[in-house]
Amino acid sequence: MAVRIVREHGEDILRERARSVKRFDDVLQRLIEDMFETMYHYHGIGLAAPQVGVPKRVIVMDVDGVKLALVNPEIIASDGEEVDTEGCLSVPGVYGQVKRSAEVVVRGLNPDGTASELEATALLARCLQHEIDHLDGVLFIDKAIELEPVAGSEAGSA
């Protein structure tokens, strides 16, 4: 496992649509392991493959006791809305108020290629939406109602 470089706002890869994963091999497993290690190293709660320079549809997260990796995830249902503060490892030092669905159902594949479906609320739902946005080249700052620079820790950034 290795800590990878987190790409920051302004780098082209963060604005590109990531490609679907077709091969479930050792290369994918290594990417997922590296993504978890990178996320923990930078005190994040979620990370998308484009954030580490890989244009593939892969996300990892560890939120409220739920640790997961999803490949080719998609939101298949959503309900309600809420506004809350978000940050991002790719946009260091900036936080913003973002309106998101309060509940989501996400379908994707586990790292071994088996199908998975997840219902989520609260912070987990927010993190899933944030990371899936990354796969489409969308940053939280694009959706923020209000942004504010914050000095200090980036802990809890997705």
Active site residues: 131
- Determine the Cα–Cα distance for residues 98 and 140; give it in Å rounded to an integer: 7
Buried (b) or exposed (e) across 34-65, using 16+ Cβ within 10 A? bbbbbbeebebbbbbbbbbebbbbbbbbbbee
141 φ, ψ (degrees, to nearest 5)? -65, -20
